[in-house]
Amino acid sequence: MSEKQKSLESFRNRIDEIDDHILKLLQERNETVKKVIDTKIENNLPIFVADREEEKIAAFRNKAAKLGLDVDWAEDFLRMIMSSSRAYQSGNNFPVTRAGKKSILLVGGRGGMGRLYANIAEATGHEVRILDRDDWDQAEELTRNLDLVIITVPIKITEETIARIGPFLSEETILADFTSNKSHVIDAMLHAHSGPVVALHPMHGPDVMNVSKQLMMVCHGRGESEYEWLIEQFKLWGLRIKYVDPEQHDRAMHLIQGLRHFVALLHGSFMKEFELKPEDMADFSSPIYRAELMMTGRIFAQDAELYADIVFSNFERRTLLIEFLEHHHLLADLVKNNDRDGFIREFRQISEFFGNFADQALEESSYMINRLADRFG
């Protein structure tokens, strides 16, 4: 072994030692975070506090700068460390609201979202009941002395389920739902029940480790002071709350849910038609297209019925998809006529419409693409 190779060897050994040391510090850090969480739970304090996190990040960036490290990279690194300690919460208890323990019924509680929230509510100490498809004969018993009922069934049977549960509810019970469609559903709830009503839309899937930092959309129905404890409980679980108007919510959802899934289907279906195998495409991929392909491909690992429900959820959404085809014609004409100048004009108008958001999108997506390339590239 030459001198050079020996020094290479000793450098590598030092790197291994450093990595071991970092790993042990991480373990101690996670244990310390656990102690913080336990103390917070005992004192009914929210687990995730955005301001404290931002302060911590600013301080970390400063220290990294003093050590000559890339500050943006250091921030990403700290956020990654923090996400590890957030993951540690999932097995833990959560703080309960000042209003104390409640009895909660999840209608459709054996679906993904139902199970997730049932677990969290139970871990918090609430009494959780489940009413699934075959349990309607026990509806009377399950709704006795009930503080809250959440409807979390497939979109197409939400309204009929609301109408069915309504007569069982007493004046004090809060009626809520988790559907991604709000204006029709809130009307159905106000009609079926005379007590407090709140329409909810958790903006995450059932496969998250915990709901910390996730977004919950809230549309007011009736009796705000009576469902206040529920909003407080969501905040204690770490959820971010956004109050929205049901119509505004639905319009955005038609685009977000309807259009996105339809476009993904279109992309996948076209690849199938032209026998462009995804494995081959991935081989040819730049990191950017790889990210794109993964976003499309993920849809097809999931349930066809679920996506059909999302795309065919109602008339407004189908109308939007038809308008989308008409819009496609206008743009395809530019291609048909080889109208490069027209394309550039349209592109620039869109750039203007996107404004500063485009720069933010470039930054955020580049970050995401680089992480994907680091991990799977």
Query: 377: Cβ–Cβ under 8 A, 6 or more apart, which residues?
Result: 287, 290
As a whole number of angstroms, the distance between CA 221 and CA 226 comes to 11
* Other Cβ atoms closer than 10 A to 372: 15
Distance of alpha carbon 260 from alpha carbon 300, whole angstroms: 13
CB of 220 to a second copy, least distance (A): 17
In this structure, are residues 248 and 274 in contact, taking their beta carbons and an 8 Å threshold? no
Min separation Cβ 372 and a second copy, Å: 5
CB 100 → a second copy: shortest distance, Å?
20
d(CA 185, CA 341): 46
Smallest separation, CB 77 to a second copy (Å): 6
Closest to a second copy by CB, 11 vs 172, is 11
Residue closer to a second copy by CB (options 119, 366) is 366
Cβ proximity to a second copy: between 174 and 253 the closer is 253
The upper half-sphere exposure of residue 287, i.e. CA atoms within 13 Å in the direction of its Cβ, equals: 13
Q: Closest approach of Cβ 261 to a second copy, in Å?
A: 10
Q: Give the C-alpha distances (Å, rounded to integers) separating 171 from 27, 168, 186.
A: 50, 10, 17
Q: Of 84 and 119, which CB lies nearer to a second copy in the complex structure?
A: 84
Q: What single letter denotes the amino acid at residue 57? A: I
User: Considering beta carbons, is residue 235 or 251 the nearer one to a second copy?
Assistant: 251
